[in-house]
Amino acid sequence: QYIGELSQLIKPETFYRYHDRWTNVLQTACALVAFSIYLAESRLATPADVEEYLGFKVNTENADITVFVITLEEYLHGIISLFNEISRLAVNSVIVNDVKRPQHISAFASELYSGFQLLNLKNDSLRRRFDSIKYDIKRIEEVQYDLRVRNLI
């Protein structure tokens, strides 16, 4: 609702001028969409999914701004936030005796991490957030290791 109101106020020629004011909110919104789709369908949210949920196009082609859009960087920040959430989900699922879910999470996270490694990220906030993914992967692997040591998988 508020993003819709904001989109009516922002003119395309001033989009990047004020972009820093709302980018964190859109990153969080993309992360919520990604996590909800992962929970519901065990898959990665595509830019089309984000567009469907939030009502704004993800600028995947890096085209000129003519309407309010979600930038590709905001989408990728949301996907990186998904790593944080699924690593917590791996730990919490073991707590409720769901020992199979961490295996699925590990496979998903490893595949997604491999995809991120193919990107040529500049030395900016996206790169720093990408570097934090390895700690989430390590956390998921530790959960799996503990399950194997205890002969639960």
Pick 77 or 20 by higher pLDDT: 77
The burial class, CB within 10 Å (0-12 / 13-18 / 19+), for 78 is buried
Distance separating alpha carbons of residues 9 and 6, to the nearest angstrom = 5
Q: For residue 1, what is the DSSP state?
A: -
- CA distance to 21, 63, 122, per residue, from 11 (Å): 14, 16, 28
Residue 31 pLDDT:
96
Q: 122 pLDDT band (50/70/90 cuts)?
A: confident
Alpha carbon 127 to its chain's center: 14
Q: Which residues contact 11 (CB under 8 A, 6 or more apart)?
A: none
Q: Is the pTM of this model over 0.85?
A: yes
Distances (CA, A) of 108 to 43, 83, 87, 103, 140: 8, 10, 11, 9, 11
**Mean per-residue pLDDT over the chain, rounded:** 88
pLDDT band at residue 61 using 50, 70 and 90 as cut-offs: confident
